[in-house]
Chain A
Amino acid sequence: MTKPISFILNGDEISCDIQDHWTLLHLLREELGLIGTKEGCGNGECGACTVIVDQLAVNSCLYLAADVQGKLVQTIEGLAVHTGSLHPIQQSFVENGGIQCGFCTPGMIMSAKALLDKDAEADREAIKHALAGNICRCTGYVQILDSVAAAGRQMAENQGEGAAAAKDPGTITQQSMNKKAGEVIT
């Protein structure tokens, strides 16, 4: 069955027809051509396909495309696109050796973002917990954890300067998000 949906993807309004059985991962990769989101297992076990739906990190391979109706979806492609420069989390992964083969990286960064958007000063245990669903075979996680912690410090600093919202269009308050999503629905 085909049906129309509308949602916000990385700040842009999207309206498209989907099949009932499509996953969000299928919609993003196969239909919309956003290849940054990776499929590592297709079973929700590796986290490579992690995206953020309304402020929550989800495995897009288990998330039905139909369920993003009216919601705000962020993928790795949305992080650097508006400013032209890397998001602090991306920058931190680059600078701290958090990336080797890079296949887990987009999902890892999205899981980190969902955490740090809520709590930029999350401690190491909280970071480990947030990334527990994202498998990495290359790094042994050490430099990934360092990357997320350093990014959190940077984001906290940016927030302290009151500049976070301006610098990071991916961070949208619940209020503005509801408004935006509402605009699409109606």
Chain B
Amino acid sequence: MIGYNVVGQRIPKLDAAQKAMGRAEYIQDVRLPGMLFGKILYSRHAHAKITAMDISKARALPGVHAVLTGKDIPPRMRMGFYKDNPPLKADKVCCFRDEIAAVAAVSEEVAKKALSLIEVEYEPLPGVFDPEAAMEKNAPLVHEAHKSNVLKLPWKLHYGDVEAAEKDSAFVAEDRFTTTWVTHCCLSTSGAVALFDASDNLTVYSNTQIPSLAQKDFLETLAAMDLKNKRVRVIKPVIGGGFGSKLDTYAYEHIAILLAHKCRKPVKILFDRKEEFEATSTRQPTVIYIRQGCDKEGHLTFRNIRMVLDNGARTSWGATTPSVMMMPITSLYRVPNVRYDAKCVYTNNTYSQAMRGYGNPQATFAIESCMDMLAKKAGIDPVAFRRINQNEPGDVTPQGFKITSCGLGQCIDAVEKELAADQPLGEGEGIGVASLIHVGGGARIYKSDGCGAILKMDDFGKVDIFTGGTDMGQGLDNMIAQIVAEELGLLAEDINVVHSDTDVCPWDVGAHASRSTFVAGNAALGAARRAKQTLLAFGARLFEVAPEDLVMENRTVSVKNDPEKFMPVDKLLRKAHFSPGGTMLMADYFYDPPNENMGKDFRCNLSVTYSFGVHGVRVHVDKETGKVLVKNYVAAHDVGRAINPMLLEGQVYGGVIMGLGYALSEEVMIKEGQIKNPNFRDYKLFTAKDVVPIKAPVIETHDPDGPFGAKGIGEPGCVPTAPAVANAIFQAVGVRIKDLPITPEKVLAAIQEQSKGS
């Protein structure tokens, strides 16, 4: 094995000291001279006509600079890929989250006061809040012009012959599972500041995960405002948590732009926590019908899944989560025949967005719960059942995914060992396992899956690297710094990573799909290699040797096998720079991974490589109360290579605890479209007191395409958590909970039902 000096080291996050001192500046901390404060008025009804609106009192309030309503929205201004969402709604509201007016004022207090002076009259309409009910013939239409509540989206695939395979199956298991709304709960609430210069060029400060795509959205907004040929600059302050929540642009950003243009002043909109719960998106809820079969030996024969997704009243990226659900459905374990059909259905509820795992946790909950049910029918131990069906390197899955590196088997080994699965179980104890597959080498969702990098070296041997990638706390800065430092023989502290400004940073598709280490990392590596080539060519002339005879290590360029000939990198750089006809050392690289867009039948190799993992959990269930206690947890992942084991463990621990919240406690409670628990007291996140012992074995399969062998690992930690817990509960007390979250009430009711039956 090759030894590395920087890659593989537990180097603290580059921005950790700033953050520890309270000096990192988030959107909350952005203040510009003359800045106004914007506030948004939301609907009071889940579904209603707006019959009258009077803004005169709000406009007359001293300190108010502008009041906007749906009537002020240019007709072409629509948000989201389905273009069903104007930033302010004019005639009709379709959910409580619908924005209907906005104010800019000298302070938040004045803006809030102004909102309270806006008078709105509604004519309530019957609502529909259940996606299956919304598919019925006489259901109220959420959008009349759409003519149906079912979105026109193509989520339907069939590989092989599911019906024939089912006939030939020795065992079949089937059931209905549901997953509900949960939300990101970024500790920093959402916000944006928009300002125009004298020529109507726009700058937006926003804690976005998609600076380049946000730039495009904002350009479209400017075009709709008849501001042609203008420039848009997106600046990211330090991001206080992402988890997918910032993968789209939102009404507050577009409203801030409209207000800033109207007032000719910077306008800031910052959410409070209640608003963060009520007006940002959730994880996509699902209703899942699954049938799975296997032969006598336990080989999977088919998987047949039908889903109904509550799209809510507007469309954001939640409606495309089926594209990623296809991945576990077609490719988790070897399953030759697969059918999948998903319908997204409008309701008068809130709407969903990307959230860590992007549909994968929902699909994996059904698949892996059903795997245990099938194993039981076949009389095979659940772990052995998974080994029989595990993916292997070289596999091509029914969807066309080419499995290259794959450590799923080693992950199973690690979980068995660390969970001490052979140890006897106490009263009320059970263990459960569940596996995952996820994209680990980018994901070609858009036409490009690329990321740019620009690198320059200064006269002191230091590097500035401008990346399109986004660090939102997950540690991309370190990945890039450690990769570049390794390649150039420098230390991580020599590398300054700039990732916050579209005026200077190159293009990138965004921080999603666990793609940043792989894609932004490969882009940085490509730029570093080019810089190294130039520098070594210069050094070779100086030392009168071939470039291949030089090595860069310990901040020094030296001639192999000739210890007398060496020069510190900074000195060499100065020589290059200050010689007559000298050169500055700069390099760029655009890495677009060789993965494929989905075809019409969804077949493709979506990612260059795939990450795998197996989670195992030991629980105790209190039969008197239904309370589930997680005694210990093992989350083993095939990560290719750990660029920084400490930050990797942080991703796994954070993912697992988020996943345990999904499994056991978290739920945005919505009644007739209204969110009942928009605060941290009633939305049950895990706290420090709830932390369970977690082990995170790292399996390194050294992926041939990853930077130094690395694959993506941002999302997997929360993917198979819920089914692992559900499977453990089944083993502990014999009840199968099919609806998330698995609250004590549900467990207790199931135990009582079971004892009635027996």
Contact = CB atoms under 8 A, between A and B. Distances in A.
Interface in B711-738: none
Interface string A135-164: 111111111110000000000000000000
Contacts of B22: 34-37, 75-77, 105-106
Interface in B458-481: 472-475
A46 interface: yes
A79 interface: yes
A40, A104, A134, A143: which has the most chain B beta carbons within 10 Å? Answer: A40
B427 interface: no
Contact of A145 (B29, B185, B685, B691): B691
B650 A40 contact: no
A145 to B, nearest CB: 7
Nearest to A102: B19
Nearest to A139: B654
Contacts of B656: 140
A43 interface: yes
A103 B691 contact: no
B238 interface: yes
Contact of A140 (B21, B472, B655): B655
A97 B10 CA distance: 9
A45 B680 contact: yes
B650 A101 contact: no
Interface stretch (B239-247, B490-498, B533-541, B588-596): B239-247
A97 to B, nearest CB: 4
B238 A90 contact: no
A7 interface: no
A140 B657 contact: yes
Interface of A is mostly: loop
Nearest to A79: B21
Given A90-B17, A103-B240, A136 B650 contact: no
Contacts of A102: 15-16, 18-20, 24, 238, 240, 473
Contact of B653 (A105, A137, A142): A142
Interface string A66-88: 00000000011101100000100
Nearest to A93: B20
B646 interface: yes
B238 A43 contact: no
A34 B25 CA distance: 11
Contact of B680 (A35, A39, A41, A132): A41
Contact of A95 (B12, B239, B694): B12
A172 to B, nearest CB: 20
Contacts of A106: 22
Nearest to B242: A101
B48 to A, nearest CB: 29
Given A35-B22, A86-B21, A105-B19, A138 B689 contact: no
A73 to B, nearest CB: 14
Contacts of B653: 139-143
Given A138-B654, A140-B691, A80 B21 contact: yes
Given A99-B16, A100-B474, A135 B21 contact: no
B679 interface: yes
A97 B239 contact: no
A103 B21 contact: no
B187 A103 contact: yes
B273 A43 contact: yes
B272 interface: yes
A180 interface: no
Contact of A97 (B21, B185, B650): B650
Nearest to B184: A137
Interface in B654-710: 654-658, 679-681, 685-689, 691, 694
A41 B240 CA distance: 13
B20, B650, B691: which has the most chain A beta carbons within 10 Å? Answer: B20
6 contacts: A41-B273, A43-B679, A79-B21, A100-B473, A102-B19, A140-B653
Interface of B: 10, 12-13, 15-26, 28-29, 184-189, 238-243, 272-273, 472-475, 646-647, 649-650, 653-658, 679-681, 685-689, 691, 694
Interface of A: 34-43, 45-46, 48, 75-77, 79-80, 86, 90-91, 93-97, 99-106, 109, 127-129, 131-145
